[in-house]
Amino acid sequence: MKIAVVADEDTVNCFKLAGLEHAYAVKSATEADERIREFSKESEFAVIVVSDIIANRIRSTINEITEKNKFPLIISIQKLGGTPQVSFDPITEIIKRKTGIELKL
């Protein structure tokens, strides 16, 4: 199973320096949406890491993919050096939708 990163250029460069092969910088929500949909169709990707700013812009796509598929798990992280965005935790939301139980973390 592989990990992919879709984020801003600085964040992607850090992951590439750490040795991650599938790290892609995007400049628009449309470009991010296309990349994530592409990765979600390939069964070899288990995790897609997305910067929180991008995740907030393409929330409907992320929800659609996580509801229909077991994998990939899409995780949002804070932009490198940025301030935290109002976050949405997809794992907590999936648990809430599937079980009816709301987790307060």
pLDDT of residue 25 exceeding 80, the answer is yes
Q: pTM above the 0.85 mark?
A: no
Burial (Cβ within 10 Å: 0-12, 13-18, ≥19) of residue 72: buried
Structure-token match 């976050």, residue found: 87
The pLDDT tens digits of the residues spanning 31-41 come to 999 999 999 99
Give the number of other CB atoms < 10 A from CB of residue 30: 11
Query: In terms of Cα–Cα distance, which of 18, 53, 52, 22 is closest to 40?
Result: 22
Query: In terms of Cα–Cα distance, which of 86, 88, 1, 71 is closest to 36?
Result: 71
Domains of the chain, first to last = 2-99 (3.40.50.10580)
DSSP structure class, residue 89? -
Q: Which is higher by pLDDT, 2 or 97?
A: 2
The pLDDT tens digits of the residues spanning 54-96 come to 998 999 999 899 888 888 888 888 876 666 655 556 666 666 6
